[in-house]
Amino acid sequence: MSAFTPASEVLLRHSDDFEQSRIIFAGDLQDDLPARLETALSRAHTQMYHHWQTLDRQMGDRVRFSLVAEAADVADCDTLIYYWPKNKPEAQFQLMNLLSLLPVGSDIFVVGENRSGVRSAEQMLADLAPLNKIDSARRCGLYHGRLERLPTFDAMQFWNEYALDGLTIKTLPGVFSRDGLDVGSQLLLSTLTPHTKGKVLDVGCGAGVLAAVLASHSPKVRLTLCDVSAPAVEASRATLAANALEGDVFASNVFSEVTGRFDMIISNPPFHDGMQTSFEAAQTLIRGAVRHLNSGGELRIVANAFLPYPQVLDETFGFHEVLAQTGRFKVYRAIMTRQAKK
């Protein structure tokens, strides 16, 4: 990956200041600057599996993907460079986690796009590492402070849950539909009929809502769930456990870690990566589904009605149908036939 995000370009304006720093990079790491910036030491921690894939090729064991950073992830570091995400509770979780591990006196840099709400970092860290804005460019802000005291961090305090159709849905910051069922998923669920059977794969499982509701009225389904987000993977596992449901849940960049074939693939695919609009994941999902569907199996997805997925579905499967729609969303179905492009 050669292109840098606007946030990374702002950091590069200060590259001379980082040459002697021992840095832990974290947050919304959308490029490979952590592997390319000249420093005394560079480590990285990410909750996003596709960001880990990008950095792993260059950083090896100096980058780790997990829900919670541990002491070994920040070993010997004296500087944090944190890329602010679009989700404030997610930033709170990650920053409190990281700052609880760093030594007092560490340099703290927070960078992000203005529209992401990066200004919130000043208030969030006011009692721990008072920040000053040191640069503004590319519609981004860069803030610096020094860690004055360590926060206490308990990941369990960040869990949330809500009830849905007699089920308990467990969630964490950064997980889609954290506070309740979104309209798109609700529309997709309305098309899933009771007594569904066979192997079902939920791609981009979030909090595990789709799989849990499906299994609640179709107990003979065999569930597999995957997501790029560590919080989503952990939330889905917790949702299944809370409702005494079984399923295989793991991290995957769409199909990167998926093996085997399924009778149904369901998804409410994202069309953002951080603050940027991106159709890549959904197009990879549609085109890759034919390699993971049994003959006669189906792909069923919900998407904003304006997104250009019908053409990709027709190019891949030969046809598609709309099962349900509102003014904003459509549920698409495509069936695996001999005409599908493997």
Angle at 10 between CA 87 and CA 272, to 5 degrees: 35
* Residue 15 sits in the same domain as residue 88: yes
Single residue among 94, 121, 155 that ends a domain in this structure: 155
Q: What is the pTM of this model?
A: 0.94
* Residue 165 sits in the same domain as residue 127: no
Is pLDDT above 70 for 166?
yes
Is pLDDT above 70 for 206?
yes
How confident is the model at residue 275, as a pLDDT? Answer: 44
Encode burial over 211-240: b for 16+ CB neighbours within 10 A, e otherwise.
bbbbbeebeebebbbbbbbbbbbbbbbbbb
Q: Which helix H or strand E contains 331, and what residues bound it? A: strand 329-335
Is pLDDT above 80 for 54?
yes
Residues paired with residue 169 on neighbouring β-strands, in sequence order: 162
Sequence letter at residue 157: Q
* Residue 83 sits in the same domain as residue 95: yes
How confident is the model at residue 174, as a pLDDT? Answer: 92
Range(s) of the domain holding residue 50: 6-155
Residue 75 belongs to a domain: yes
310: domain CATH number is 3.40.50.150
How confident is the model at residue 276, as a pLDDT? Answer: 47
Residue 62 belongs to a domain: yes
* Residue 144 sits in the same domain as residue 165: no
Residue 1 belongs to a domain: no
* Residue 110 sits in the same domain as residue 221: no
Domain count along the chain: 2
Is pLDDT above 80 for 257?
yes
* Residue 215 sits in the same domain as residue 138: no
Residue 197 belongs to a domain: yes
Single residue among 155, 181, 206 that ends a domain in this structure: 155
* Residue 218 sits in the same domain as residue 238: yes
CA distances to 121, 174, 305, 337 from 316, in Å: 44, 32, 19, 10
User: What's the mean per-residue pLDDT of the chain?
Assistant: 93
pLDDT digits over 298-328, tens only?
A: 999 999 888 888 999 999 999 999 999 998 9
Residue 342 belongs to a domain: no
Single residue among 155, 179, 199 that ends a domain in this structure: 155
User: What are the φ/ψ torsions at residue 30 (nearest 5 degrees)?
Assistant: -100, 5
